[in-house]
Amino acid sequence: MSQPAESAKAAPRTAVLTVEGLDVTVGPGVRAVREVSFTLERGEAVGLVGESGSGKSLTCRSVLGVLAAGCEIPAGRITLGGSAGEQDDLTTFTRTQWDAVRGKRVGAVFQDPASFLNPSLTVGRQLSEQLRVGSGLPRSDARSRAVELFTAVGLHRPDEVYHQYPYELSGGMLQRVLIAIAVSCAPELLIADEATTALDVVIQAEILELLNRLRTEQGLALLLVTHDLAVVAESCDRILVMYAGEIVEDGPTAEVLATPAHPYTEALLRVASIGAWERRDLEIIPGRPPETGAELPGCRFADRCAYAAQQCTAGPVALHALGDHRRARCLRPAGLLDEQVKEEAHA
Amino acid sequence: MSSPTASHTTPSATTHTTPAAAPGLAPERKGPAPLLELAGLNVSFGRRATSLRRAGRTRVLAGIDLAIGPGEILGIIGETGSGKTTLARATVGLVRPDAGRIVFDGQDLTQLDRSGLREFRRSGRVQYMFQDPLRSQDPELTVRQIVAEPLAAVGALTRQGRAERADQALTLVGLDAEALGGRTPGQISGGQRQRVSLARAIVTRPRLLLSDEPVSALDASNRNLVLSLLDRLRRELGLAVVVISHDLSSLAGIADRVAVLYRGRLVEQGPIGEVLDHPLHPYTALLTASAPSVRREHRLLPSQLRAPAASSGTQSWPDDEGCVFAQHCRFADDACRAEPRPGAVTDTPASAAYAVACHHTATWRDQLG
């Protein structure tokens, strides 16, 4: 490890979530997620990025056990390794077993907060319901705890908000309510699937700050699923890039953004939002991803890749280690190519 | 001016704090007559009585002064509920304003009666591109039929002629008319669907295109593709485009000017590079500081700009008194809350007009922590 040994000793790494060799099919033989493996440490924020259809939402739905009908997990293990040290495979869990996991050890927030709330109940009642069912708090305690949680997620006048219905609150406030519900039972892991996509930039920045604060205060691990590389750049320690069902790159955010190893990451970076306001030609990623579940002999990005060589399409490309804490699924990692090859490719 | 405007051509004569009854932001325009001009536009919606408030009207837009020239791209930014969509809808005559003028190509749309307005809309000179292609495209029609639809409203061409024009429009937006023309919206990708929406919007050869968040549902590559197309179309067809977008960075890549809306008022407008690079209004500064970026280059942090007790709550419209942003502004003082909103107009040395509505344009940066 290139991290200082002292810090590794001081805070032993505890995996909160381990996904190993996960495959998800969306129909008979249609593999939309392929051999996805990663771990999340306690208090770590990991950004899962990729285009729509890359399998990032299927991956986090598998972790939550909420795959749509017709989707199956033919291979792979998902385990939550918390302080208690249980090592159970979530993919084999029954409904009753899931009840002890969802909302308790794993919380989740999604893109459209309004659709996860009951429009005919006040938001306070919905949070205290979760507290009574999830943590077994008596009615009066649940109420005061709910107001505390509303305060913790930055809602102003929490006593008033408690008595409001979802339609009375703005999108940003609803997302805060959802976050309060998601963290009410002190989960080890919070999954945010495009949780800020529908919000405007000012509110998005506030919600990202809130998630970051909860992470530090409660030691929560955060899996942030987004198609916006800029959001990950702002808020995650580590980045996982998915393309056509596979993880193609994995590493510390700053390093990956500075020297992307996979050409797809490099392409994402070229089209991402930058904090500059000049007039310019907006770049695109030419071509499009293969059909969901398409079986290709070699690299799945090869036909869109500027650096693709013959060996890329000859056989499967493994996700191999680059140094101690980075992985890339590329035979010619872009960051390691010499400048001449790069120039020729882009010319 | 003690604000750090070093590398910048911001106006030195920032004549703000004009509590006189300057009703809105009316930048002086030079050069050719604008294609579209909004002057003193007010829009309100009827409100039903609730247990808390009597029935009345909710002001959605107030004192909007805006202009756009042929071949110009104007970006409109602002938070949810700030009136961006209403502004675009009023411009095509889908919402009737209470006051103000909407002059398109010399014709005042507010003077038209119902049938006159319908005729104007059907002429196809102004087109509207909706946010969600899945919901604005008939799933049963083919791509070619969807694109040809507005031509049927114009009613000038034969069936055959309409199909040909539809194919031309599809080609203009970079789609293969031959291959995709016969498919339904469900059979093409999200990025392609949004390009079909664009083809439908330009098929009548409009002079002005209003696009309401054309790229919010798209990933970065498709977003850039659609925005680049808008940029190309304005160059090739002289099309004027109004783009509502949350993505400031990519918007800055193509737009000429930007107008910043906050709670129904224009708080700042001017050349997009200038406005975003060195905002004169604290709200614009908060927007640019909040925009996510893969490179951390912002000079200011959102936390430096938020009011200490900023609440995203629903608060009453501050009527005509005071600055609309005052409740959420870190730099607001009594003057901002009490005095009429300043209609400060600043004229830059350059040709483009610049306007900002703030009492403290010149001084708020000095108070940054």
> Is B302's CB within 8 Å of A206's CB?
yes
Is B91:B84 a contact under the CB 8 Å cutoff? no
| A228/B292 Cβ within 8 A | yes
Whether A280 has its CB under 8 Å from any CB of chain B: the answer is yes
Size of interface A-B (CB pairs under 8 A): 142
CA–CA min distance B140, chain A (Å): 23
A181 close to B (CB below 8 A): no
Torsion sign over Cα A115, A117, A122, A127: negative
Residue A292 CA neighbour count, 13 Å, CB half: 19
Q: Could you tell me if B319 and B265 are in contact, meaning their C-beta atoms sit under 8 angstroms apart? A: no
Q: Is residue A224, in this structure, part of any structural domain at all?
A: yes
Residue A292 lies in a domain: yes
Residues A199, A270, single domain; the answer is no
Nearest to A227 among B219, B231, B250 (CB): B219
Smallest Cβ distance to B287: which of A201, A267, A275? A201
Subunit contact B290:A51, Cβ cutoff 8 A: no
Q: What order do you get walking across the sheet with A238-243 strand by strand?
A: A106-109, A189-193, A221-226, A45-49, A238-243, A246-252, A326-328, A320-322
Total domains, chain A: 2
Do residues A210 and A268 both lie within one domain?
no
Alpha-carbon radius of gyration of chain B: 21
**Smallest CA–CA separation between A317 and chain B, in Å?**
25
Q: How far apart are CA B299 and CA B297, in angstroms?
A: 6
> Domain range for residue A141?
13-236
Residue A241 lies in a domain: no
For B223-278, the pLDDT digits (tens) are 999 999 999 999 999 999 999 998 899 999 999 999 999 989 999 999 999 999 99
Position A5 in a domain = no
Burial string for A21-31 (b: 16+ CB within 10 Å, else e) reads ebbbbbeeebb
Question: Which of B173, B219, B251 should one mutate to test binding to chain A, selecting the residue with the greatest count of A CBs within 10 A?
Answer: B219
Rounded distance between C-alpha atoms, residue B164 and residue B144, angstroms = 9
Q: Closest to B287 (Cβ–Cβ): which among A202, A275, A284?
A: A202
List beta partners, residue B218. none
Query: Is A117 found in the same domain as A182?
Result: yes
B17, B21, B25, B26: CA torsion to nearest 10: -120
Q: How many whole angstroms separate alpha carbon B25 and alpha carbon B267?
A: 8
Task: Report the chain A residue with the minimal C-alpha distance to residue B192.
Answer: A288
Whether the predicted pLDDT of B9 surpasses 60:
no
CB-based contact (8 Å) between A203 and chain B? yes
* A221 and A266 belong to one structural domain: no
Rounded CA-CA distance B22/B20 in Å is 6
Q: How much is the pLDDT for B287? A: 93
pLDDT of A333 reads 76
Q: Do residues A135 and A76 both lie within one domain?
A: yes
| Same domain, residue pair A209 and A76 | yes
Judge: B253–A283 Cβ closer than 8 Å, yes or no. Answer: no
Binned at pLDDT 50, 70 and 90, residue B7 comes out as very low
Neighbours of B142 (CB within 10 A): 17
Beta carbons of A51 and B81 less than 8 Å apart: no
CA distance A245 to A117: 31
Residue B93 class from Cβ within 10 Å (0-12 exposed, 13-18 middle, 19+ buried)? buried
Which residues of chain A are within 8 Å of residue B303 when distances are taken between CB atoms?
209
User: What pLDDT does A13 receive?
Assistant: 67
CATH number at residue A109: 3.40.50.300
- Complex-level ipTM: 0.85
A52 touches chain B (CB under 8 A): yes
* Cα distances (Å, whole numbers) of residue B2 to A5, B304, B364: 49, 19, 10
Task: State mean pLDDT over B42-58.
Answer: 80
Cα distance between residue B227 and residue B250, in whole Å: 8
| The token pair that represents A31 in the structure block | 């593999």
Closest chain B residue by Cα to residue A236: B294
* Cα three-residue angle A144-A148-A149, rounded to 5 degrees: 115
Judging contacts by C-beta atoms under 8 Å, the chain A residues touching residue B289 are 205
What angle do helix axes A123-135 and A139-152 make, rounded to 10 degrees? 120
How many angstroms away from the CA of B233 is the closest CA of chain A?
A: 14
CB-based burial label for A141 (10 Å; 0-12, 13-18, 19+): middle
Do the domain assignments include residue A204? yes
CB contact under 8 A, B292 and A233: yes
Query: What tens-digit pLDDT sequence spans chain A (347 residues)?
Result: 344 444 434 455 688 999 999 999 998 989 999 999 999 999 999 999 998 889 999 999 999 999 999 999 999 999 988 544 445 789 888 888 898 899 889 999 998 888 899 999 999 999 999 999 888 899 999 999 999 999 999 898 899 999 999 998 888 899 999 999 999 989 999 999 999 888 888 989 999 999 999 999 988 999 999 988 999 998 999 999 999 999 999 999 999 999 999 999 999 999 998 878 888 899 999 988 898 889 999 999 999 998 888 889 999 999 989 888 999 999 877 655 556 666 666 66
A168 neighbourhood in chain B, CB within 8 Å = 314
Of B79, B219, B297, which is closest to A200 when you measure between CB atoms?
A: B79
* Residue A57 sits at the chain B interface (C-beta within 8 Å): no
Return the higher-pLDDT residue of B313 and A335.
A335
Per-residue pLDDT, averaged over B186-208, amounts to 92
Percent of chain B exceeding pLDDT 70 equals 83
Residue A277 has a pLDDT of 87
Q: Are A141 and A198 in contact (CB under 8 A)?
A: no
Are the C-beta atoms of B264 and B62 separated by less than 8 Å? Answer: yes
Residue B211 has pLDDT above 70, yes or no: yes
For residue A233, the chain B residues in CB contact (below 8 A) are: 292-296
Q: What are the chain B neighbours of A285 within 8 Å (beta carbons)?
A: 221
- Nearest one of B278, B283, B251 to B266, comparing CA atoms: B283
**A 221-250: CB under 8 A from B:** 227-231, 233-234
With left for phi above 0 and alpha for psi between -120 and 50, is residue A244 left, alpha or beta? left
Provide mean pLDDT across the span B97-112: 92
A163 touches chain B (CB under 8 A): no
In contact, B263 and B341? CB cutoff 8 Å: no
Confidence of residue B342 (pLDDT cuts 50, 70, 90): low
Taking CB atoms within 8 Å and a gap of at least 24, the contacts of A91-98 are A91/A62, A93/A65, A98/A65
Predicted pLDDT at B297: 64
CB contact under 8 A, A275 and B295: yes
Can you spell out the DSSP letters for B172-223?
Answer: HTT--HHHHTTS-GGGS-HHHHHHHHHHHHHTT--SEEEEESTTTTS-HHHH
Cβ contacts of residue A295 below 8 Å, gap of 6+? A31
Task: Inspect the interface and report whether the beta carbons of A277 and B312 lie closer than 8 Å.
Answer: no
- Confidence class for position B335, pLDDT limits 50, 70, 90: confident
In sign, the C-alpha dihedral spanning B147, B148, B151, B153 is negative
CB–CB contact A269 B247 (8 Å): no
Which residue in chain B is spatially nearest to A49 when comparing CA positions?
Answer: B219
**Structural tokens at position B214:** 């054309």
- The verdict on a CB contact (< 8 Å) between A274 and B298 is no
Q: Look up residue B67 and give its amino acid.
A: A
Domain extent listing, chain B: 36-47+57-125+206-367, 137-204
Cβ separation B294–A288 shorter than 8 A: no
User: Is A244 within the bounds of a domain?
Assistant: no
Quick check: helix, strand or coil at residue B166? helix
Q: Record the tokens describing residue A17, joined without a space.
A: 């979530």
In whole angstroms, give the CA distance from residue A186 to residue A105. Answer: 7
**Residue A281 located in a structural domain:** yes
Rounded to whole angstroms, the Cα distance separating A201 from A63 reads 28
In the predicted model, is pLDDT for residue B353 greater than 90? no
Chain B contact set for A277 (CB, 8 A): 248-249, 252, 272-273, 276-277, 288
pLDDT band at B309 (very low <50, low <70, confident <90, very high): low
pLDDT at B19 over 50: no
| Closest chain B residue to A54, measured at CA | B219
Highest mean pLDDT among A209-213, B45-49, B91-95: A209-213
Cβ distance B228 to A284 less than 8 Å, yes or no, reads yes
Q: Does the distance separating the beta carbons of B302 and A284 come in below 8 Å? A: no
CATH fold of B36-47+57-125+206-367: Rossmann fold (3.40.50)
Here the tokens at position B39 are 């002057």
- Position B193 pLDDT exceeds 50: yes
- pLDDT-derived band at B343 (thresholds 50, 70, 90) equals low
- B77, B260 in Cβ contact below 8 A? yes
Q: Does A73 touch chain B (CB under 8 A)?
A: no
Distance of CA B249 to the CA centre of its chain: 15
One-letter amino acid at B103 equals V
Three-class HEC string of chain A: CCCCHHHHHHCCCCEEEEEEEEEEECCCCCEEEEEEEEEEECCCEEEEECCCCCCHHHHHHHHHCCCCCCCEEEEEEEEECCCCCCCCEHHHCCHHHHHCCECCCEEEECCCHHHHCCCCCCHHHHHHHHHHHHHCCCHHHHHHHHHHHHHHCCCCCHHHHHCCCHHHCCHHHHHHHHHHHHHCCCCCEEEEECCCCCCCHHHHHHHHHHHHHHHHHHCCEEEEEECCHHHHHHHCCEEEEEECCEEEEEEEHHHHHHCCCCHHHHHHHHHCCCCCCCCCCCCCCCCCCCCCCCCCCCCCCHHHCCCCCHHHHCCCCCCEEECCCEEECCCCCHHHCCHHHHHHHHC
Report the pLDDT value the prediction gives residue A313, as an integer from 0 to 100: 92
Q: What is the mean pLDDT of residues B107-130?
A: 90
Q: A205 and B288: CB-CB below 8 Å?
A: no
C-alpha pair distances (Å), B231 with each of A278, B132, B227, B238: 14, 20, 6, 10
pLDDT of A12 reads: 57
Sole residue written with tokens 């291959």: B179
Q: Which residue of A has its CA nearest to B223?
A: A284
Q: Which two tokens stand for residue A310?
A: 């013959």
Stretch among A219-233, B146-160, B294-308 having the lowest mean pLDDT: B294-308
- Residue B154's identity, in one-letter code, is V
